[in-house]
Homo-oligomer: A and B are copies of this chain.
Amino acid sequence: MIKAGIIGGAGYTAGELIRILIYHPEVELDFVYSTSQPGKPVAGIHQDLLGETDLEFSGEINKNTDVVFLCLGHGNSVKFLAENQFSANTKIIDLSTDYRMDGEHEFVYGLPEFNKKKIKKANFIANPGCFATAISLAILPLAKAGLLQNDVHINAVTGATGAGTSLSATTHFTWRDNNFSSYKAFEHQHLNEIGQSLKKLQDNKLPELNFIPNRGNFSRGIHVTAYTKFDGSLEEAKAIFTEAYKDSAFTFLVEEALHLKQVVNTNKCLLKLQKFGDKILITSIIDNLLKGASGQAVENMNLMFGFEESLGLKLKANYF
A51 near B167: Cβ-Cβ < 8 Å: no
State whether B172 touches A172 (Cβ < 8 A): yes
A254 touching B50 by the CB < 8 A rule?
Answer: yes
Establish whether residues A276 and B185, one from each chain, have CB atoms under 8 Å apart when the complex forms.
Answer: yes
Once the chains are docked, how many angstroms separate the CA of A212 from the CA of B137? 20
Do A281 and B171 form a contact, CB below 8 Å, given A217-B217, A225-B212, A317-B48? no
Chain B residues whose C-beta falls within 8 Å of the C-beta of A23 in the assembled complex: 314, 316
Chain B residues within 8 Å of A320, by CB: 12, 161, 174-175, 177, 219-220
Q: Give complex CA distance A20, B316 in Å.
A: 7
B-side contacts of A254, CB under 8 Å: 50-51
* A176 at the B interface (CB under 8 A): yes
Query: Does A302 lie at the interface of the complex (its beta carbon under 8 Å from any beta carbon of B)?
Result: no
Cβ contact within 8 Å between A218 and B155: no
| Interface-located stretch among A64-72, A98-106, A119-127, A255-263 | A255-263
Within 8 A of B (CB), among A255-291: 256-266, 268, 270, 274, 276-277, 279, 281, 283
Q: Is A85 an interface residue (CB 8 A)?
A: no
A46 on the interface (CB 8 Å rule)?
yes
Most buried by B among A47, A281, A283: A47
Residues of B within 8 A of A257 (CB): 181, 183
Complex Cα–Cα for A215 and B12 (A): 23
A316 vs chain B, min Cβ distance (A): 5
Residues on A lying within 8 angstroms of B by beta carbon are: 12, 15-16, 19-20, 23, 43-44, 46-52, 153, 155, 157, 159-161, 165, 167-183, 185-187, 210, 212, 214-221, 223, 225, 227, 250, 252, 254, 256-266, 268, 270, 274, 276-277, 279, 281, 283, 314-320
20 A-B pairs whose Cβ atoms sit less than 8 Å apart in the complex: A16-B316, A23-B316, A44-B256, A51-B254, A155-B225, A157-B180, A157-B214, A160-B177, A173-B176, A178-B178, A178-B219, A180-B218, A180-B223, A181-B258, A182-B258, A185-B227, A216-B216, A220-B318, A264-B318, A265-B265
